[in-house]
Amino acid sequence: MPKKPTKTRKPKQTAIVRFLGRPAKPAAKLKRREASFRLLFDSNPIPMIVCAARDERVLAVNDAAIQHYGYSRSEFEKLTIRSLQAFDPELPWTGDSGDERAARTWKHVRADGALIDLAIYSRQLVYGDQPAILLALMDITERKRAEAQMTFMAQHDGLTGLPNRNLLRQKMDDILLRTRRSAEQVAVLVLGLDHFKAVNDTLGHGIGDKLLRGVAKRLRSILREGDALARLNSDEFVIVQSGATRPEDAAFLARRLLDVIADPYLLDGHSVVIGASIGIAMSPGDGDESEKLLKNADLALSRAKNDSRGTFSFFEAGMDARAQARRKIETELREAVQSDVLRPYYQPLVDLSSGRITGFEALVRWPHPERGMISPAEFIPVAEETGLINAVGGLMLRRACMDAVQWPDDIRVAVNLSPLQFRVGNLLCLVMDALNQSGLSAKRLELEITETLLLEKSSEVLATLHALRALGVRISMDDFGTGYSSLSYLRSFPFDKIKIDQSFVRDLAANPDAQAIVRSIISLGKGLGVTITAEGVETEAEVNCLRNEGCQEGQGFLFSRARPNAEIMSLLKAQRGYGAALVA
Ligand code: C2E
Ligand code: MG
Ligand code: MG
C-alpha cells in the first residue's frame, strides 16, 4: 500500500533569521537556530551589524560593535550603514552581485570622530521577515597604517623623507607622459654635494646626517609644486623641473639651487659650508625616458665635478663615450696593479747654483700593451675615483724607496701622495714599512702633497703630517699657487719645500707678471726658511731668470724628462752642469 504522504506544516516566520534560499525548517528547529544565532551574534567578539537590505537602516548590533564604535544601541538603531561611512562609497555595497564572503574595505567614523579602516564580510539573510544583511566588521586600521608605513618606507629615503629612486622613477614617468603631449621640456638636474665625505670624516656622521636633512629642506623650499625632488644616494639629489621651455630655465634653477645650498649651515655649534655641482639632461633631446635622462644627467654631473666644482654642466653627446673609455681605463688599471706593471720613472731636481742633482721625483708610468705609456694625468684621477690610488700609491712608495737606497747617500727621492691616501688611515705605517723594508734613511724621502689635502684642514691629516715629519721625512707642497688659498695653507703646516707650479714658470722670461709672482713666492720661501723649487723649467731663459731671483731648485725638461731607474746611475755619473748635459 502506498504510503500516505504526511502533511507538512508551513514554518512560521518568527523574529530571526532564515538564510535566503534555504528550505524551510520546522518551528522547533527554527527556534533553536534563532537562539544559537542570537548567542553567536550577541556574544561574538567581532563587531557585527544587521541592517535592512532596502534602506540600509541598522536593525541590530552586537555588544562588540557598540564597544568598538562608541554609539549606544539606541543611537545605532537610528543610523544607516551609509551614515557610518567616512565618505560615500563609489560602488554599491548591498547589490551583492559578487562573492558575498569576499571582504570589502571601508572607512567608518566612530562616535568620537576617529576614522577606522574595516574589512567587512557580508551575508544576506532574513531578519524579522525582511531581507537584511549581516555584516562582520574587522578593524584593520593598524594593519593599514603598517602597510602605508611600509609602502612609504619602500618609496622614501629614511633620513630626509624625500622620495627615493623608485618613487622618483614613477613620478618622472608621469611627468614625461604629461609633457609628451605639450611643447614643454623636462629638465633633470642631478645635484652632487662637493666633498661631503670630508664632512662625515671630520665632523662625524651625526652632523653629516643633519647636513643632508638641511640640504633637503632648502632644496624643497625653492621648488615649485609640479617639480619633483628625490635623494638618489648618499650625497646626490635629483630635481625634475617640469614646465621648462628652454635650457636657460634649467640653468636659472641650477644657479638658484647652488646659491641656496652654499649658505653656511649651523649644526650643533659648527658652521658647516658645503658646495654642490649639478649635471643637467633635458627631455626630449637628451632622452625621453627616466633611466636615460638620469644616466645622462649623471654624466653631466661628472663633467661638472671634474671641470670645477660648484658649477653646473649640461649633458652633451659624447659624454657617454668618454665615460665608457673611463670605465675601460678602470678595468685595465686594476689589472695593471694586480700584475704589477706600474713603474716609477725619475725626474731630477737640480740645485740651480751648483747645477748638481739633489734628488729625483718618482712619477708613475703605465706601460700599456696597446697604447704605449699612459700619462698619470689620465689615470691618476680614475685611480682616485675608484680607490685604486691606495694600491698605486703604496706600490710607488715601496719601489721608490727600494730604488733610491741604491743611489748615492746624498740623493733624495720625492714621492707624490694623493689626499685619498690620508683617508685610509694607515699612511704612517705604509711609509714606515717602506723605509724599514728598503733600509732607506727617512731624511732621504720627500713626500709631495697638494693643497687639496689641506682643504679640509682636518686634525687627523695634520697629525699624520706631523708624525711623518717627526720620522725625519720631508714634506713638500706641490703645484703651489694653483689652489684656492695657498698662503693660508702655509700657515697650517711647516713645509720643508714649496714647488712653484709650472704655470708660473711658463714664459717667465717674457712675462713680468709671472716674474712678480715667482719673486714673491721665492721671498716668501726665504722668510719661512723653506726650499723653493720651480717646476716645468724648459728653457735657458727661464732658468736664468729663476737663478737671478734666487730660486734654489729647478725641475723640468731642460734638465731631463723622467727616466727609468736603470738610467739613473749613469745620469748621476754623467752630470756636469744643469744645462744641456742633462737633457734627455
Ligand atoms: P706633478 O707631481 O706636479 O709632477 C710633475 C709633472 O710635470 C710630471 O708629469 C712631469 O713629467 C711634468 N713635467 C716635468 N717637467 C716638465 C716640463 O719641463 N714641462 C712640462 N710641460 N711638464 C713637465 P706627469 O709625470 O705626467 O705627472 C702628472 C701628475 O700626475 C703629477 O704632477 C702628479 O700630480 C701625478 N702623479 C704622478 N705620479 C704620481 C704618483 O705616483 N702618485 C700620485 N698620487 N700622483 C702622481
Ligand atoms: Mg709632484
Ligand atoms: Mg707639480
Query: Which of 229-238, 289-298, 453-462 has the least mean pLDDT?
Result: 453-462
Please choose from 508, 533, 535 the residue to mutate so as to test ligand 1's pocket, defined by most ligand atoms within 8 A of CB.
535
> What are the residues facing 80 on neighbouring strands?
57
Say yes or no to pLDDT of 235 above 50: yes
433 pocket-lining for ligand 1 (C-beta < 6 Å) = no
Say yes or no to pLDDT of 173 above 50: yes
479 pocket-lining for ligand 1 (C-beta < 6 Å) = yes
pLDDT of residue 101: 45
Report the half-sphere exposure of 263 (CA within 13 A, side-chain side).
10
Dist. CA 363 → ligand 1 center (Å): 6
Instruction: In whole angstroms, give the CA distance from residue 553 to residue 574.
Output: 19
Dist. CA 336 → ligand 2 center (Å): 22
Residues 6+ apart with CB under 8 A from 492: 454, 457, 462
Whether 483 and 515 have beta carbons less than 8 Å apart is answered as no
The per-residue pLDDT of the chain, averaged, comes to 87
Protein residue with its CA nearest to atom 33 in ligand 1: 416
pLDDT of residue 509: 84
pLDDT digits (tens, 9 = 90+) for 536-582: 999 999 999 999 999 999 999 999 999 999 999 999 988 754 444 45
* DSSP structure class, residue 24: P
396 Cα nearest atom in ligand 1: 41
Q: Where do the domains of the chain lie, and which CATH numbers do they carry?
A: 44-143 (3.30.450.20), 158-315 (3.30.70.270), 337-583 (3.20.20.450)
pLDDT of residue 456: 62
Residue 103 pLDDT grade (very low, low, confident, very high; cuts 50, 70, 90): low
User: Global pTM?
Assistant: 0.60
Q: What Å distances lie between residue 419 and 113, 137, 206, 277, CA to CA? A: 62, 65, 23, 20
pLDDT of residue 18: 46
Say yes or no to pLDDT of 77 above 70: yes
Residue 288 pLDDT grade (very low, low, confident, very high; cuts 50, 70, 90): confident
Protein residue with its CA nearest to atom 35 in ligand 1: 376
555 Cα nearest atom in ligand 1: 15
415 Cα nearest atom in ligand 1: 41
Protein residue with its CA nearest to atom 4 in ligand 1: 363
Which among 454, 421, 453, 428 is positioned nearest to 442, based on CA atoms?
Answer: 428
pLDDT of residue 16: 44
Say yes or no to pLDDT of 3 above 80: no
Dist. CA 45 → ligand 2 center (Å): 81
pLDDT digits (tens, 9 = 90+) for 8-45: 444 333 344 444 445 555 678 878 877 887 888 999 99
421 pocket-lining for ligand 1 (C-beta < 6 Å) = no
Instruction: In whole angstroms, give the CA distance from residue 36 to residue 42.
Output: 10
- The grid coordinates listed for 123 are 551575508
Q: What is the mean pLDDT of residues 425-429?
A: 91
pLDDT digits (tens, 9 = 90+) for 463-521: 999 999 999 999 999 999 887 666 777 888 899 999 999 999 987 888 898 899 999 99
Q: What is the mean pLDDT of residues 195-216?
A: 90
Ligand 2 ion local residues (Cβ < 5 A): 416, 448, 478
Q: What Å distances lie between residue 28 and 18, 31, 34, 128, 509, CA to CA? A: 14, 5, 10, 17, 123
- 342-351: burial string, b at 16+ Cβ within 10 Å, e else: bbbbbbbbbb
Dist. CA 356 → ligand 3 center (Å): 20
